[in-house]
Structure 1
Amino acid sequence: MALLFYLLFWVSFSALIFIIHRTSRYRRLRLPPGNLGLPFLGETLQLISAYKTENPEPFIDERVSRFGSLFTTHVFGEPTVFSVDPETNRFILQNEGKLFESSYPSSISNLLGKHSLLLMKGSLHKKMHSLTMSFANSSIIRDHLLVDIDRLVRLNLDSWTDRVFLMEEAKKITFELTMKQLMSFDPGEWTEGLRKEYLLVIEGFFTVPLPIFSTTYRRAIKARTKVAEALSLIVRQRRRESEAGERKNDMLEALLSADDGGFSDEEIVDFLVALLVAGYETTSTIMTLAVKFLTETPLALAQLKEEHEGIRAKKSEGEALKWSDYKSMPFTQCVVNETLRVANIISGVFRRAMTDINIKGYTIPKGWKVFASFRAVHLDHDHFKDARTFNPWRWQTANVFTPFGGGPRLCPGYELARVELSVFLHHLVTSFSWTPAEEDKLVFFPTTRTRKRYPINVHRRNHVKS
């Protein structure tokens, strides 16, 4: 008993000395202003409760007004410096792997897998990122992917009846597109079953990562296991086919036949899990919100319709879109940019300081998290006039616009997402008119979405057939 008391005393004493030493070190540094909040919890509860309002950035707005564009807080168990400064954000993005490294809450990393592109570091990340960029570049989309994008979008829209939940329909479209591009699967019972498991995985991203306390997280972990098992079977089968000389033109084939022996099955599965999440959740949300914003901005919708009806008028009935059609959609790209700016599906990125970093007259201590907020910059009136109003005509200049991140971790599917959204909008506005079935508002936490999945009443335009 005495020995146990002695050990507990020294453990507690050592922990106290460590905390005092660390605190005194922080006092010697000039930290960005802010508040670390309660012990252990920090300001996590304030962050979560703030985002239950309809304000897109309540937590950040309140602290920027008190402390400025660089402030200190404590969220998700760690001291964190938030940046709402475009110059600082660019500095963080460009110094990936030098001064900062990717670091995300465990609820996200556990579900994506250690070999996901979001969490990879060093040479493996560079290799995988380069491979992904090469498979989703403009020439690949033009020569190989566009025909499937056009076909699958039309196939889904042809099934619409009088009333649809647009968010659900958009998710079906993007999941089917992603499955086709990654593994050459057409829509079917197997892909739909996998999609339902993915819904459970995504629900677990921003919950407490403790299965005992969170049924949502427990379901997400089980669903992630099922998804990984299903994909592992496909990877093993495709590896055998590839070794036998049977090749397909998709992302999985590129991973299997990569230089220097390719990747292990575990690496490929984690990579596919993350890409399915990225291609499925983000693009479907942008599709939904583009329609919502356009519906609420009749002049923009009218100009978009005029642009696409001009393209459709030059094509025969049922003729698919070509790359030249996509490149002749200038106002559509303004709509895409403005939707990305206002919606900000990726609100920002987490990084960890690899050393003490001096910036803007402050020091970010080694080991601290930093959060570069894209959304707060995009919604700042100093950078965009009437920043919280949807205005696609503003896109003549865009010097602080980073919807897809930047630096070595620039989203490799940025051009593909633009093409998918543009094709979707083309077939939607030339085939349908619609009205909201009921009022639906945006929610910005844990991800941007609509509360009611944006139900709309659709009316097929018989005089224009795609």
Structure 2
Amino acid sequence: MAIFVHYLSILLISAVIFLLLRAYRLRRLRLPPGNLGLPFVGETLQLISAYKTENPEPFIDERAKRHGSVFTTHVFGEPTVFSADPETNRFILQNEGKLFECSYPGSISNLLGKHSLLLMKGNLHKRMHSLTMSFANSSIIKDQLLVDIDRLIRLNLDSWTDRILLMEAAKKVKRNNKSLVGLGPSRLSSESKMALLITFELAVKQLMSFDPGEWSESLRKQYVLVIEGFFTVPLPLFSATYRRAIKARREVAEALSKIVKERREEYEKGERKNDMLGALLGGEWEEDQLSNEQIVDFMVALLVAGYETTSTIMTLAVKFLTQTPLALAQLKVSCWKMSGTDFKGKNHRTVVKLLDDVIDTSLPW
């Protein structure tokens, strides 16, 4: 009993010292008013709970009302300043790279990798961003991209045969207008899952020239676990989700490392492919080659960056088209006219214009 009391006293004293030191350090930083919540955890649980509901705004509204439109909290392992003030946000965005520097919490950085494009700064970031844009805008990719999109959508729509109607699925989205970010698989509707699947398969195809199959599906499942780790308490000891995310990140890195190694050997033998990995292995990097680890982290970031955002836009496009009968009717007519098109040359420009119109329809969100 005495030993238990002794250790409990040490624990309480340590907690008090920790809280005092944290409060002193934050006062020196002159942060905006706010509440840091529990030690280590902060207010992460409240934020995660809010964003898993249909109405996450109260998390910010309640704190803005209590502390002001710019307030301090503690989420995902770090003190964080939230801004709900439009003028402040505009000032920050206009001065990014000058007065402000873009960064991510350490817990997310661990999952992305230290060489991730999202974490790069300075000249290296500019070079990698330029390479990415050059690849995305190349004529070879533009011509092949729509062909791949068409093929993947047809492939996945075939799996819906005798199971679900697209219009009925769209009505379900209409009733459940919410972001896909942070939602578990059981809470996603069929069309949302399909959008996520198509987005990932297309990204893998453009990055590494892999068609949908057992390998890409295994990689996708690991990616889902990694992304789930973004929205949890970043303490491996207490969070099974974060532990799974860390483990999945290692397995993703191992799978991609194997591919990068094989492709580098092929590249040195003169075998080239017109994908993102081929651009990273060659081109402007001939004399200053990226390491395998750098390439892996870069590809991890590209897959993560487009996975949720693109699939969300795809799902919302279906939702808003069902709310705009005229646009939907015009889209149907255009699709019938382009039936059998090869998506190249003049046809490519027509399809891109049509896609732009569909995206514009999704913008009300």
TM-score for the superposition, normalised by structure 1: 0.61
Deviation per CA, 1:280-302, whole angstroms, max 9, x where unpaired?
Answer: 2322233234334544x3xx1x1
Aligned residue number for residue 284 of structure 1: 311
Conserved? CA contact 1:112–1:273, under 8 Å? yes
Note the C-alpha offset of 1:84.
Answer: 2.4
With over 3 angstroms needed to count, the CA separation of the structure-2 counterparts of 1:203 and 1:18, relative to structure 1, is closer
**Residue matched to 1:137:** 137
Q: Is the Cα contact below 8 Å between 2:223 and 2:252 reproduced in 1?
A: yes
CA distance, structure 2, for counterparts of residue 318 and residue 272 of structure 1? 31
SS of 1:322 mapped into structure 2: helix
Map Cα deviations across residues 6-62 of structure 1 (whole Å, 9 max, x no partner): xxxxx99x9899668646645xx5x54444445555433433343344213221122
Instruction: Give the SS at the match of 1:59.
Output: helix
Q: Which residue of 2 aligns with 1:82?
A: 82
What is the letter of the counterpart of residue 74 of structure 1? H
1:178·1:276 contact (CA, 8 Å) conserved in 2?
Answer: yes
Distance 1:155 1:39, change over 3 A: closer
Contact 2:70 2:82 in 1 (8 A): yes
Q: Secondary structure at the match of 1:81?
A: strand
**What do the CA deviations read for 1:302-352 (whole angstroms, capped 9, x no partner)?**
1232221232243344654622222145641322323xxx3xxxxxxxxxx
The equivalent of 1:211 in structure 2 is 236
2:213 paired residue number: 188
The answer to whether the Cα contact below 8 Å between 2:83 and 2:89 also exists between their aligned partners in 1 is yes
Give the alignment partner of residue 236 of structure 1, picking from 261, 264, 267.
261
Alignment of 1:397-436 (within 5 A): none
Gaps of 5+ in 2: 1-13, 165-189
**Matching residue of 2:326:** 303
- What's the offset of the Cα at 1:215? 2.0
- Supply the distance in 2 between the matched residues of 1:46 and 1:262 (Cα, whole angstroms): 44
Q: Is the 8 A contact 1:171 1:284 kept in 2?
A: yes
Q: Which residue of 1 aligns with 2:198?
A: 173
State the identity as a percent: 69
State yes or no: 1:227 paired with 2:227: no
Tell me which residue corresponds to 1:265.
Answer: 292
Which residue number in structure 2 is paired with residue 255 of structure 1? Answer: 280
Question: How many residues align structurally?
Answer: 322
For 1:261, the aligned partner's letter is D
Instruction: Report SS of the residue matched to 2:230.
Output: coil
* 1:12-411 alignment runs, 5 A limit: 22=25, 25=28, 32-37=32-37, 41-137=41-137, 139=139, 141-163=141-163, 165-257=190-282, 258-259=284-285, 260-295=287-322, 297=323, 300=324, 302-317=325-340, 320=343, 322-329=348-355, 331-338=357-364, 342=365
Moved more, 195-204 or 245-254: 195-204
Kept after mapping to 2: 8 A contact 1:307/1:331: no
Distance 1:278 1:205 in 2: 12
The answer to whether the Cα contact below 8 Å between 1:117 and 1:271 also exists between their aligned partners in 2 is yes
Deviation of 1:178 after TM superposition, in Å, equals: 0.4
Structure richer in strand, relative to its length: 1
TM-score by length of 2: 0.77
Letter in 2 for 1:111: L
**Matched ranges for 1:421-460 at <5 A:** none
SS at match of 1:195: helix
Tell me the distance in 1 between the aligned counterparts of 2:193 and 2:157: 12
The 1-side partners of 2:19 and 2:51 are apart by: 35
Q: 2:360 is aligned with what amino acid?
A: C
* Per-residue deviation, residues 193-247 of structure 1 (Å, max 9, x unmatched): 2112222222222223333322222222222211111111111111111112111
Gaps of 5+ in 1: 1-10, 343-466
String of CA shifts for 1:401-421, please: whole Å, max 9, x gaps: xxxxxxxxxxxxxxxxxxxxx
Deviations 1:394-445 (A, max 9, x none): xxxxxxxxxxxxxxxxxxxxxxxxxxxxxxxxxxxxxxxxxxxxxxxxxxxx
Partner of 2:178: none
* Aligned Cα root-mean-square deviation (Å): 3.0
- 2 CA distance for matches of 1:102 and 1:119? 8
Question: Structure 1 pair 136/56, CA: closer, same or farther in 2 (3 Å)?
Answer: farther
Distance in 1 separating the partners of 2:267 and 2:336: 43
Give yes or no for contact 2:77–2:233 (8 Å, CA) kept in 1: no
The 3-state SS of whatever aligns with 2:270 is coil
Work out whether residues 146 and 323 of structure 1, in 8 Å CA contact, stay in contact via their aligned partners in 2: no
Greater relative contact order (CA < 8 Å, ≥ 6 in sequence): 1
The secondary structure found in structure 2 opposite 1:82 is strand
Letter in 1 for 2:333: G
Q: Which residue of 1 aligns with 2:176?
A: none
